[in-house]
Chains A and B, each alone.
Chain A
């Protein structure tokens, strides 16, 4: 659970910075930041499950 928390914190802070430097209206930048945040979490969770099923240690 703690790992998930730190990963979410990392994704959140990075997404804020990416959204802040992005171009476009405030709404577009907010949506971009949320998209980056979601992508970070989704890819990390997907990779985590893929690695979980790999039989290599």
Chain B
């Protein structure tokens, strides 16, 4: 009987600090890299996300949220763009608390551009968050 040799893989524990970095990176765009003293990445990623978010609001785009008034399964249609918007972190929560950016301005020609900027700002911040987490966990150099 031949015993199968299973190759041993080294399991590296994720340091708790990495989770804090990930949370900070989500909450404030650019902060995750800033805390790790990666100035250039912080400036580029944070700057891009902030610029996209603010430009989106300025262009008349609107943020999505579940209001509870949706009928049937239509709430799911709002769930996806809301998930993208939530990626922006505290700027989204600030807008939610102050009820800023949730009104539709469909009469503006730049309305759709604004929506796209806001959606992609959140998605890019998710990307930045994962990058900051990987760097803090030592998975990426």
Return chain A residues, CB-CB under 8 Å to B117: 10
Chain B contact residues: helix, strand, loop or mixed:
helix
- B41 and A20 form a contact (CB under 8 A): yes
Question: What is the CB-to-nearest-CB distance from A13 to chain B, in angstroms, rounded to a whole number?
Answer: 5
Cross-interface CB contact of A21 among B45, B55, B109, B120, cutoff 8 Å = B45
The interface on chain A, measured as residues whose beta carbon lies within 8 A of the other chain's beta carbons, has a size of 13
The main secondary structure of chain A at its interface with chain B is helix
- List A residues 2-32 near B (Cβ within 8 Å): 2-3, 6, 9-10, 13-14, 16-17, 19-21, 23
Interface residues of B in 15-51 (CB under 8 A from A): 40-41, 44-45, 47-49, 51
Q: Would A9 and B44 be within 8 Å (CB), given that A14-B120, A21-B127 are in contact?
A: no
- Is A20 in contact with B110, judged by CB distance below 8 angstroms? no
Q: Which 5 pairs, one residue from A and one from B, show the smallest C-beta to C-beta distance?
A: A20-B44, A17-B48, A21-B131, A13-B48, A17-B124
**Chain B contacts to A: CB under 8 angstroms:** 40-41, 44-45, 47-49, 51-52, 55, 59, 109-110, 113, 116-117, 120, 124, 127-128, 131, 140
Binding site for B on A (CB under 8 A): 2-3, 6, 9-10, 13-14, 16-17, 19-21, 23
